[in-house]
Amino acid sequence: MNEDILRAARDMLPNPEHSVTSIAKLLGVSVGTLYNHIPDLRELRPATQEPTRIIQP
């Protein structure tokens, strides 16, 4: 993986319209490769849903 691919992935990750899988396919790498080369990948993704709340009766 080269710096241009890493930069492109990092630029696309914050956009919720792009899944990690679609980014990997577009860049010609595996999802695992993205996770291996971008350690903060999960932090770069926006939250897609609110955390589940457990209500005690």
Residue 4: DSSP 8-state: H
Per-block mean pLDDT, blocks of 10 residues, the chain (57 long): 92 89 94 91 66 56
Helix axis angle, 3-12 relative to 20-27, nearest 10°? 150
Query: Topology of 3-44 in CATH?
Result: Arc Repressor Mutant, subunit A (1.10.10)
Whole-angstrom distance, CA of residue 27 vs CA of residue 1: 10
Q: Return the domain boundaries, the chain.
A: 3-44
Q: Which among 23, 25, 26, 34 is positioned nearest to 1, based on CA atoms?
A: 34
Whole-angstrom distance, CA of residue 23 vs CA of residue 17: 10
pTM exceeds 0.85, yes or no: no
The residue count of the chain comes to: 57
pLDDT of residue 46: 67
pLDDT of residue 56: 63
pLDDT of residue 37: 93
Whole-angstrom distance, CA of residue 37 vs CA of residue 44: 13
